[in-house]
Structure formats: C-alpha cells, structure tokens
Structure 1
Amino acid sequence: MNDTQKLLESRPSSVAILFQERVAATPDRTAFRFPAAAAGGGEEWLELTWGQAAQRVFRIAAGLIDLGVQPEERVAVASATRVEWILADLGLLCAGAANTTVYPTTNVEETAYILADSGSRVLIAEDGVQLAKVRERRAELPELRHVVVIAAEDATAAEGDPEDFVLSLAQLEERGAAYLEKNPEAVTERIASLRPGQLATLIYTSGTTGRPKGVRLAHDSWSYMGLAIRSIDLLEPEDVEYLWLPLAHVFGKVLVAGHITVGHVMAVDGRVDKIVENLPTIRPTKMCGVPRIYEKVYNGVANKARAAGGAKYRIFQWAAEVAREYAKAGQANYVKTGNRTVPLGLGLKHAVADKLVYVKLRAAFGGRMKGCVSGSAALSPEIGYFFAGAGIPVLEGYGLTETSAASFVNRHESYRTGMVGKPVPGCEVRIAEDGEILLRGPGVMQGYHNLPEQTAEVLESDGWFHTGDIGELSADGYLRITDRKKDLIKTSGGKYIAPSEVEGRFKAICPYVGSIVVIGANRNFCTALISLDEPALLGWGAEQEGLAGKDYSELLAAAETQAMLAAYVKQLNEGLQRWQTVKQFRILPRDLDIEHGELTPSLKLKRPVVERQFKALIDEMYEGSVAK
C-alpha cells in the first residue's frame, strides 16, 4: 500500500476526530492568537491553547445540542474572520451539525435566501448588524429557531422575539457547560457517531449571475484535506500562520483543517485594513492570500520607492528586475538539476539588491516569512517572480469550492511561478479534449444543494468534476491554468484570448492600477476598463507639476493621468500578440468593489456585472467599429 492509499484509507470520518486527536497530543501548545480590547484601551493579542480551545468548542457543541440541534441540521455562521468563527464551526461540527457559511457583507435578501434554502435552524451572528438582517426577514425563515450573537452587547431580544430566540455566545457556552455536567459524554458520543459522507458544510458560491448555489461538502472531505495538507509539508508545527481570509470562503476553511492536523500557531484577524499593521506584531512564517493582496503590496512598495526620489526608484526598478531574473534562473535550474543555483554574476547582483531592497521588504512582512500561498484567482507571473527573488516565494495553488479548495499546490522545495503545482495526494486530474480541467477525489462535493440538474451538468456519475477552467499539464505533472472556460474571449476575427493573462501583465507593469477588465468578445479588437488605486494615484499626483493638491476624482479626469496610463498600455501591448493588444481604454470613476457587486467576497472579478455597470463606456470605445 502506497502513502496515498494509506492517507485515503486511514482518514477519519470527520475533522472533529482530528481535532480530538490534536487536543490529546498537544493540549498545552498555543493554538490561536487573536486581538482583543485591552483593559487600558487599545488592543492586545491573547492566546488559546489547544486544551482551552477544546473546552470552549465542547461547550458550544453541548449548547447547540441543548438547543435541540440534530445531526446534519444546518447551523449558519455570519461573521467576519475571528477566533470565535473557528470555535463555533468546530463546535457545530462536534455536535454533528453542518455549517452554512454566510459572508457578513451579504445583503439582507441574499442572507435570507441562503438561510431559507439551507434550512438553517440556528444562526451564529457576529453582531447586531447580522441579527438585524434576520429580524427583517423573519417571516421567510420559519425553520430558524435561534440566533446566537458573538458580540454579547448586541444579543438583546426585541419585542416579539420568542423565548430563547436571541442569546449571546457566552450564554450558549454557559448552557453547554451546564448540559455537560449532566451529560458528560454527549459531545464525544456525537463525534463518535459521525460517518463518512455526512454533510458538514454548505458553502454558497457567489457566482457571477443568478442565485448562489449551495455546495455540499462532507465531514470526511475536510479530514482528507487536513491530512493531505500535512502530507506535503506545506506547514510545520513550528510555524506561525496569519489567517485573515474570509472563513465563509472555502480557502479559509481548508486552512483550518490544515491547522488542526499540523498543530502550529494560527494568528486570526480578518480585518484586511489591519494586515500591514499586524505583520510586524504577529511576525508570521506563513500566510495565504488572494492575488489582489500581493498586487497591492507590490504596487505599494513600488510607489513608496518612487516617492523617495529618482535615485531610490531607479534602485528599486533595478532590484525588481534582478529579483525576477534570479527567480527565473533558479527555477529553471531546479527543473534541470534539482538545485536553484544561478550564474555567479547574477548571484552577486542579487546579494547587493538584497541589502538595498529585499531585506526591507522581508522586514515589512515581519522578518520571518518563509513563504506565502496564493489562490482563488491567477497571480501575475511577474509579481510572483518578484516576490520569489526577494526571498518571499508565493506558492500558487488551485482548487474550487466544489473540490474543498486545495486540489493543487506548489511545494516549497520545487515551486514554479506561473503554475499551480502538482495535485495533492488522492486528487486525480485529466484534461478534456477542449482543454477543460476535470478533477476526482475525496475533496469533490456531493453536489449542489437542492439542485440535481445543475449538479448533473458538472459532476459525472463516476465522480469526475468539470471545473470550467482551461489548463495544461507539464510532462512531470505541474498544472498551468490558462483561463476560465467561460471567460475566454473569441474576437470577431476568430482569435481566442485569455483576458486574465493580459490583465495580469498589466498589473505587473502599472503600479497605480486597481483593477483592469479586458473586453473583446465578438469584437474586432480588444479594449480595457481600468480603475486606479486611490492612495497610489494620490501619491503620483502629488509628484506631478500642476496636479499637487488635486483630489482623486480630479486626478481621474486629468489629461496627465490619461497620458500616464496610455504609456503603460503601450508598454503592455509591446509584449502581446497583435490580436491581444488593447486598442482603447477608459478610466473608471472608482475602483471595483464588493459593495457594487463587481467583486465576489473572495475578490474574484464578476465580468458580466462590470460589463453591465459600465456598458456606456464600452459602447463608446467600440462606436463605429464592426461587431460580429
């Protein structure tokens, strides 16, 4: 029996069992670090050991049992990423329930739809804002019996609330503690009764059109993912991992499964605006993120260097190119020889650049970062090479909500920028005739909740899942994602274009870009909608003669801004095939965001929404042109 067979056959029925095993193995080791209000004002970082976490998890589980929650009944969680989210999730899993994840940014209508479609009996809400969404649509949620509010000060019953409809998380834990005094084996018995294939999670994909679909993931899908992550040594027991990703997204969820199996420290704080501030405090060794974050970090560093003056900016530009050259040479040599040696001259240049630039970048990450993981969307290779050459390799991975997130990932010793690595143990892959990636394995979903026809469209009877992504496998098993199957652009001249490739190239050369959307389907040339990052643009404007003091909207309208972007588009086009080149562009009046529906909560682009929102600008670019 090989290692993969052992992993598949020995995996427990649930991640709850892995949690029990982790607590038994290292009860006194730190499991979580998290921010909390300090007594004298401000914040402090507190810790929970695995044993202390287990005590709270078991009390939450027992509290839910006391509320009448039965196995496989849904308990929803609507909260930003915080340690209580993880404790609540583990608690409901240990009670045998299934988690319905809800982004805290989800509007009232869609929140009500998710809770109703899932049949959720209990909602664990972060605060009064999430509670209010439920109260507004109570008539549509007859199955919802209780709301547990994490923020105790917001857990106030309103007139008309039935008894015990609203309680705080602290009150739930108190109920659980009392229940365990009378029924000390209640939670362990629930865990022991969990079976493979039992529903553990309903994650509603935001999608680009229509209602979200509930992806059904089983308990043993998560235990499989946890063991698969541990088997590839992506994380080590001595690591400190910084978790800020939304836990309502499958990417965040799978990181928790890996955390439980490896047993390292996880620092949890979902406030994205605190990332830069938190890094020197947490001093993480590992961090996962989405490409947009790495793009913003890169652009921030580039703009800071530009603001420091001509000489320092030239040094940064030189160092950035050295980093890319160094990373490319090292990776190419590793493929040939198994080591990352580079030519002597390049190594000497890299040593100088390290002292001048890279050491400062690593210090901004806390000084201990061994590497990051990027997923959820494509990372620009040029940005990936920069970080790799600067000593912070960004390991690209690939997976979907429907495959429990981590299907492919680069390994530390053999990563390749621009590829998403090899499959994790137990994941099978094949490429269909049209280039679509098909996956099969224990991480693949059971189907879409209450949607058998849509399930049949993507999931074959023998377990193969159609990802909707286009890709290619190298001879030694590395996967490269080309594009989303439905996002490929076919021009009126019959040429296929992968817009994400063009967009990624532009993000690597223009430090002021917020988002870029390439347009061209059924058109005779490509165009682009470009938004600009407000802090970066204001910094640029302050340096330009005649623009200093102008606000964001004034800078967007300035002829100088148009000329600056035109120069970057020209640079982009020089590296593209003729049919890929961007002939015209328009500057958007604001950056794309979640609030306007143009980005998913995991920061993926919703192309159809963008094209609808800015149809007038697109039509303007194609006025008088021939469309198919």
Structure 2
Amino acid sequence: MRLFDLLYRQLEENPLPDAFAHKVLGFWKKYSTVDSLKIVNQLSQGLIELGIKPGDKISIVSEGRPEWVFVDLACQHVGAVLVPLYPTLSTQEYQMILKESEVKMIFVSNGVTLKSISSAAQKIGIDSIFAFNKIGGVKSWLDVMREGKGKNKEELEQRMKDVRAEDICTIIYTSGTSGAPKGVMLTHTNIVSNVIESSKVSTLDKGKDRALSFLPLNHIYEKAGIYIYIYSGIGVYFAESLEQIADNLKEVKPHTFNTVPRLLEKVYDKILKKGSELSTIKKGIFNRAISLGLKYDPNKNQGPLYNRQLSVANKLVFSKWREALGGNIKQIQCGASALQPRLARVFWAAGIHVLEGYGLTETSPVIAANRMDAIKIGSVGKVYDNLEVKLGEENEILVKGPSVMKGYYKNEELTREVLSDDGWFKTGDVGKIVDGYLHITDRKKELFKTSGGLYIAPQQVENKLKEATIIEQAMVVGEGEKFPAVLIVPNMDEVLTKLSGTYSLMDFEDMRRDPKVRKLFQDEIDRANEILGKWAKIKEFRLISTNWSPETGELTPTMKLKRRVILEKYKPILDTIYANKSDFDLSKFENMKIEDMSLEELEQFEKMESL
C-alpha cells in the first residue's frame, strides 16, 4: 500500500463530508473526501504539466491546513518527493536544505513564510513558488490546478501505477538539538506500516469522530497523525493558530488531538493559576481535587472513599476542564519529549486520557505507545507488534522493523553510524523495559560526565524541577566540571504570586540576587536533589531573564532543548558558576564512611558539602 492509497480507502469505507476543514473569513470551510480527491488529482495533473518528474523534490513552508495535505498527496501521485520545512528556519538553513535536496518547486502559506524563504530560494535559482494565500505578484496554488485541468489524465494514471511502496515519498529534515539538520528518507511502507499499527490502538469511531490539528505538519509526528486520521475515517480540522486553540476546541469539539508535553504543562499551569484566584471555599474544593488527581492510578482501585471523593471532584472541578477541551475528548496522544507523571495522573483523574508514546523521525515515528487498555504512567507504553526492540550498550534503545527509515539523504557515513547492516537502528535514547512497558531514562548524547568520571542524566532532574510552577524551563549543566548546576528560566507570574507581588517593580538582576527569591528556587532544587546520589546533586543555579523558544533559537520546534546553543549563549554565566571553586574529586567520597576519613579528608568533605 502507498500513502496516497489511504484517502481512496477512506472514500470506499468511510467517506466524510468533512475530511479536512479550516477557518476562512471566520467560518469553517470543509472539504469532503470526494472534493479532496478531485483537488488532489487536478493538482497532480498540474504538476505534470509544469514539468515535475518522478523523483523531483517539492517543498512546503506552511502551517497546517488542507492545502498542505493536498500538495503532499499530489506529490505522491506523480512520484515526486516532498521536503517539508519549518516556517521558522534561518535563511542559511533554508539555503543549505534547498540546495542539498535539489528542490524544484516551493509552496508557501502567506507573505510571512514567503519572506522567510524567498532570499534562500533566489540564491539557489528556484523561481517556481506558489502561495496558498493571495499574495500580490506571486502565483497561487490554484494556478497549478488550472494548469492541469483536463490534461495528463492517462499519464497521471500511469505515474500512480508506477509508484512502489518501497519508494521514498518524503525527506524530513530533523530540527536537531545540536549540529546541522539531517534529511531522513522515508518510504511509503515506512509511514503506512506505522499508520496501520497506530490505528490499532485507537478508540475513535471511524466515520464519526473529529480531530483538531495544531502541531507543525512538517514534523513526522503530526504528518503521520494526519494519515492515521485519514486511514481511520476521522475528520481533520486545522486550528487557526496556537493562540486560538482554546476557541477552536470549543468550536470543533474534537474527540482527539496530538500534542507535546510543553503545551500540556502550560495548560496545567493556567488551570492552577485560575484555581489560586478562587474564593476561599472554592479554592479549597479545587485544591482537594488536585490532591486527589495527583494520587490517581488508572491501574489501581483506591477504595470506595477515594472513588467517592473523586466523583465529587469530577462534578465540581474536572467537568469544567473537559468542557474547556470541547467536551468530547476520548484520547490525547502526547509525544516528542517526556511527560511529567504528575500531569498524566491529574489529567487521567479528570477523565482526560493522555496517552504518552515514543518515537523518532527515523522510525516514522512511533515505536511504543500507551493505550486505553494498557497504560503505565511514567512509561511510553508497549512496543508496537510489528517492531523489535532491544537494549544495546549503555542500555541504548535499538529498534528494527518496517517503519525504520531508509537512511539519511546524501549521508551514507552517518547512516552507517546509526543503522546496522541487519536493520537495527540506534535511537540514541537510553531506556529500560519493565513488565513489558518501555521507559525512557535519558538521551544517550545528553548524558555527561563530571570531572570525577561519574555520569549525570540531565532529563531526570530537569523534569523534576519543571514540576514546580515557578520554573518555566531548566537545563542541567556541568560536563567535565566538578559538580552539576542548572540554568533556570523562571515563571515570573508565579514567582510574583508567591511573593505577593512585592517585587513587581524590581529590576530582574536585583530580584534574582534577593535571598527570598533565591530561597524559592533553592527549595525546589533541594526537592529534586532528594532523588539523586551525592555526585549528581545540583550544587549551584542561575536564573535566566529571557524565555527560551524556537523563535529565539534555544528550543526546537517541538520544544526540546538545544543544549549546544544554550551552552554557547550563556557561557559567561556558566563561567561564573565554575570559577574559583576548590579542586575536589567529588567521586572520591562516594563509598567512604565518615568514620574512616582522615582529618584532611574530613575537612575536604565538609567543604565539598557546603558548595
């Protein structure tokens, strides 16, 4: 089966009046399955008329919208290869990718995306640019359709017959947390096999339910998600923007959506903030509901008293949460980074079923996922039946199966580094398997050693720290140094709330040196340190005044830390952490009892503990 066959399957089994929809001039414009196929076929004929050959590369730089999917499917019909790109890349990144992949044609969304890529396209000599929105002086995607009207029908039929399941259908350049982007070559089989397996764990009603899409389609997570919806007969509604998701949820009343942990964290923080503003009586009810939620376990019956209390909390508090999501949510898929277990517990207690999964662009993407009838909070679920997983050196997760990529585009050396001759792909993630459930413990490349030779797993500490409402972001540092430290981006609204607004007019530089402010963060670090061995405890921290984001370069578009970028950007601050510290070997004392220490060692130990 080829990827474009999925929409024909929908036509046969679950034709929809709203296969795709988006907001146009304040109203939801819907495309039926029949309408969508007509548009895709005419676009395909237009691409042939404009000289696109099998194997040619076409790029899309746009937010999610029906036209994005139509162009994607048209590329597949004619044997072209889609190279989707983030609208937030730099000119240099666009130029590198467009040149390496030899893109022949580009589709952009609007004037903003056109401006971001046009200079790179001009330098390489790409002049075939089409826009989804009307832009003066720029050809429209509708012009491609007009070019193909009534033409090339027989050639299109032959092109579609010639497309093989093992052909590459897309090259996705990973955003990367370090180094240059890599072009991941994915075949029809890669993605289709993952789509079919993912649909098996769904509880959605085919031909009836709706999904809201707001994550970037050029990321395999959401791109594959759209094809899962197509395969399962689920209508796809594209949100207007991240800022308008709340309104779109109430309008569309979806049954599902894909998300990343950072967005759920922001939703939860807003909920807590609203709860803190309630009257005394209502605040008590709200806090009790949160307390019950934090204890929730979907696999454990906690007795009649707990169940009765949870039932009351559902009626008085959690029902409002569900209503804010549209009132119809059956399941939410969450991936791209680790979900805090406390969030999963609270949302499940509220009847909002967040299913955490795990995968990579190179595995099309899903490797493992929790499901409604098999969930383990804190894990990423059970491995898909059509995949094999084993643990390699340093417990690195290795995966083998039909969804593993063909390789990196024009980079055989890097392909050989991660993909063995017998098909095992090295994920770079460290994990463990407990009772059949896969747990991700860290990123192999993100593990680092202190100067004492002991490993630090930063994600574990960072996730613990981010449980605090006063911490927006955190990154553990200390590779090659004597002890680990952490850079913290504060949630200033929460800090001021906890300090009763005392510091609202104080300069940030003065505020972050204030003992009361520092104690707030030190208390959270002390709580995180409770789960760590002595060598891994955070000894120092620094507060950062500006938020990290994909736009400013510290985060990938899926909200992962770009560690190398952050280390370079904040080097002067890091230098203040590690300057003028006594030269102690922290690992020296790990297995030594105090009573066995010499006087000199005891003095060193006491100084070390005071750092």
TM-score (norm 2): 0.90
Match of 1:360 in 2: 320
- 3-state SS of 1:245 partner: coil
| Aligned 1:516-555 pairs, distance under 5 A | 516-533=474-491, 536=494, 540=497, 544-548=500-504
Measure how far apart 1:460 and its partner are: 0.6
Measure how far apart 1:196 and its partner are: 2.2
How far apart, in 2, do the equivalents of 1:289 and 1:119 lie?
32
Match of 1:336 in 2: none
Match of 1:264 among 217, 234, 241: 234
Match of 2:294 in 1: 324
Q: Do the aligned partners of 2:396 and 2:444 also contact (CA within 8 Å) in 1?
A: yes
How far apart, in 2, do the equivalents of 1:193 and 1:419 lie?
42
How far apart, in 1, do the equivalents of 2:23 and 2:495 lie?
32
Match of 2:245 in 1: 275
Query: Cα–Cα, structure 1 residues 311 and 167, in superposed 2: closer, same or farther, change >3 Å?
Result: same
Query: Cα–Cα, structure 1 residues 517 and 128, in superposed 2: closer, same or farther, change >3 Å?
Result: same
| Aligned 1:28-43 pairs, distance under 5 A | 28-37=16-25, 43=26
Measure how far apart 1:310 and its partner are: 5.3
Over the matched positions of the two proteins, sequence identity in percent amounts to: 32
Measure how far apart 1:312 and its partner are: 4.3
Match of 1:215 among 179, 184, 190: 184
Runs of 4+ aligned residues of structure 1 deviating over 4 Å after TM superposition are 309-314, 534-538, 548-560
Measure how far apart 1:93 and its partner are: 1.4
Query: Cα–Cα, structure 1 residues 343 and 303, in superposed 2: closer, same or farther, change >3 Å?
Result: same
Q: Do the aligned partners of 1:254 and 1:406 also contact (CA within 8 Å) in 2?
A: no
Measure how far apart 1:579 and its partner are: 3.4
| Aligned 1:438-477 pairs, distance under 5 A | 438-475=398-435, 477=436
Match of 2:471 in 1: 513
Measured against aligned partners, the alpha-carbon deviations of 1:420-453 in whole angstroms (never above 9, x if no partner) come to 1112231111111320001111111111110010
Where does structure 2 lack aligned partners over 5 or more consecutive residues? Answer: 586-611
Measure how far apart 1:605 and its partner are: 0.8
Match of 2:128 in 1: 146
Measure how far apart 1:270 and its partner are: 5.8
Match of 1:296 in 2: 266
The letter of the residue matching 1:480 is H
- 3-state SS of 2:394 partner: coil
Aligned residues: 583
How far apart, in 2, do the equivalents of 1:316 and 1:618 lie?
40
- 3-state SS of 2:19 partner: strand
How far apart, in 2, do the equivalents of 1:308 and 1:276 lie?
21
Query: Cα–Cα, structure 1 residues 71 and 557, in superposed 2: closer, same or farther, change >3 Å?
Result: farther
Q: Do the aligned partners of 2:16 and 2:233 also contact (CA within 8 Å) in 1?
A: no
The letter of the residue matching 2:483 is F
How far apart, in 2, do the equivalents of 1:512 and 1:191 lie?
55
Q: Do the aligned partners of 2:45 and 2:151 also contact (CA within 8 Å) in 1?
A: no
Q: Do the aligned partners of 1:152 and 1:169 also contact (CA within 8 Å) in 2?
A: no
Q: Do residues 46 (structure 1) and 5 (structure 2) align?
A: no
Match of 1:437 in 2: 397
Query: Cα–Cα, structure 1 residues 227 and 298, in superposed 2: closer, same or farther, change >3 Å?
Result: same
Where does structure 1 lack aligned partners over 5 or more consecutive residues? Answer: 1-11, 38-42, 157-165, 334-340
The letter of the residue matching 2:160 is I
Q: Do residues 479 (structure 1) and 462 (structure 2) align?
A: no
Match of 2:535 in 1: 579
Query: Cα–Cα, structure 1 residues 610 and 392, in superposed 2: closer, same or farther, change >3 Å?
Result: same
Match of 1:71 among 54, 62, 78: 54
Measured against aligned partners, the alpha-carbon deviations of 1:172-203 in whole angstroms (never above 9, x if no partner) come to 12222x2xx24334433322221022110110
The letter of the residue matching 1:82 is R
Query: Cα–Cα, structure 1 residues 551 and 283, in superposed 2: closer, same or farther, change >3 Å?
Result: farther
Match of 1:201 in 2: 170
Measure how far apart 1:582 and its partner are: 2.2
How far apart, in 2, do the equivalents of 1:270 and 1:216 lie?
30
Match of 2:6 in 1: 18
How far apart, in 1, do the equivalents of 2:30 and 2:513 lie?
49
The letter of the residue matching 1:503 is E
State the superposition RMSD in angstroms: 2.3
Q: Do the aligned partners of 1:300 and 1:536 also contact (CA within 8 Å) in 2?
A: no
Match of 2:578 in 1: 622
Match of 1:162 in 2: none
Match of 1:4 in 2: none
Q: Do the aligned partners of 1:225 and 1:257 also contact (CA within 8 Å) in 2?
A: no
Q: Do residues 498 (structure 1) and 457 (structure 2) align?
A: yes
How far apart, in 2, do the equivalents of 1:365 and 1:615 lie?
42
Match of 2:340 in 1: 380
Query: Cα–Cα, structure 1 residues 83 and 139, in superposed 2: closer, same or farther, change >3 Å?
Result: closer
The letter of the residue matching 1:441 is G
How far apart, in 1, do the equivalents of 2:17 and 2:392 lie?
47
Q: Do the aligned partners of 1:34 and 1:47 also contact (CA within 8 Å) in 2?
A: yes
Match of 1:226 in 2: 195
Measured against aligned partners, the alpha-carbon deviations of 1:503-547 in whole angstroms (never above 9, x if no partner) come to 111222x11322111123233322111112355556x27x71533
Q: Do the aligned partners of 1:395 and 1:409 also contact (CA within 8 Å) in 2?
A: yes
Measure how far apart 1:554 and its partner are: 7.9
Match of 2:147 in 1: 175
How far apart, in 1, do the equivalents of 2:386 and 2:452 lie?
42
- 3-state SS of 1:276 partner: helix
Match of 1:245 in 2: 215
Measure how far apart 1:29 and its partner are: 3.4
The letter of the residue matching 1:152 is K
